[in-house]
Amino acid sequence: MKDLRETVRYMMTPGPVEVSPRTLQALSSPVVHHYSQGFIDFYDETTGMLKKVFQTKKDLIIMQGEAVLGLEASVANTIDPGDRVLVLDNGPYGAWFGIYVENHGGEVVRLKEEYTRALDPDKVKRVLEKEKNIKVLTLVHMDTPVGIVNPVEEICKTAKKHGVLTIVDSVAALGGMEINPDRWNIDICICGSQKCFSSPPALCPVSVSREAWSAMEKKKRPIKMSYLSMLDYRDTWIKKRVFPFTPFVSEIYAIHESATEILEEGLLNVFARHRKVADAVRDGVEAMGLKLWPESRSFASDTVTAVRVPEGIDDEKLREIMAREYGVLIAGEVPGLKGEIFRIGHMGYSARMENALVAVAALEKALLRLGFPVKEKKGVEKVLEHL
């Protein structure tokens, strides 16, 4: 098979990320029948491990698909046509929740913030006090395209006081940053295997509260016998230890190993590692004269660093040089902000100091090649201070 990575040796993208050698090895294990007792026990163990990474005692299901499946399903399973949904929008993924709501007949009440800022809990509170009959609130923990972390705990606690169901996209944060669905009053918390878990893009673990199950049951037409159905997982796996359809056996092997690695390291150590690498990348980027996309480092993500493209620099050429000449792949392709942002991912297996050093060094050299007046070696020196 052709090497699709070609010159790329360092995957510093915000997902999919580099898959660890242990997880790759697990992925290649022989496939077994999904109703063999050994696999049933293995799947049960995997679910339990994922709950530990989620830090939850709520029910947890593993939807068989990329994380977007869980995002749409969370809306489809909880709202009826005409239901009002408060969509918190300070990034492309926050905005896309509104599309899911409209697709399933809901009414969008949108609270929009600048894409350079975190959401303001006080503004959310004022909207909830003003607007009537809000059934569901959607928000993104960390909006990957802009690298901004939102105050999920404060917002969800406010929503709960108003009797509003909360749906949180933590796809690019969970497993790399602190989150606690139980303590933070998150009714549906969605993750993805291809981000901080460092598994292939295939699975979507979701924690679900009793209140969320109740909302699904009370729909005028509860979603059943559908790939989008969360109730199918509850009624089969959670209640009977059978599956709604054939699970992705090999990907379950992979995420089991990924969760094992996280738990072996310890969640607090994992969070600290991500924070250290993020600080090093941010310091390195700023030291060479670049500006972060978020207005404040106080809400900059620990899993991806979003950087403003300098004036006069073609971000596609910048990323091409980094990949072709220096073997470092970073990301651009931000919906609605094309050419304005590039992103360095440092999540999961990629969140290592040597990767931060290589990425910053490659960025510096590529910028010099394009004529940008980089403060030479300043970025690398800043990263080295964190070693």
- pLDDT tens, 152-174? 999 999 999 999 999 999 999 99
Kindly report the CATH number that applies to the domain delimited by 10-17+266-384.
3.90.1150.10
pTM of this prediction? 0.96
Please report, for the chain, the start and end positions of each structural domain, with discontinuous segments joined by +: 10-17+266-384, 31-263
Kindly report the CATH number that applies to the domain delimited by 31-263.
3.40.640.10
Residue 322 has pLDDT above 80, yes or no: yes
Contact 140, 303 (CB under 8 A): no
Residue 134: per-residue pLDDT? 98
Note whether 10-17+266-384 and 31-263 share their fold: no
Going by pLDDT thresholds of 50, 70 and 90, the confidence category of residue 255 is very high
The distance of Cα 364 from the centroid of its chain, to the nearest Å, equals 27
If you write DSSP's letter for every residue of 228-280 in order, what string do you get?
T-SHHHIIIIIHHS--SS---HHHHHHHHHHHHHHHHH-HHHHHHHHHHHHHH
Residue 158: per-residue pLDDT? 98
3-class secondary structure, 333: coil
Residue 257: per-residue pLDDT? 98
- pLDDT tens, 61-106? 999 999 999 999 999 999 999 999 999 999 999 999 999 999 999 9
Tokens 């559908």, located at residue: 226
Contact 38, 48 (CB under 8 A): no
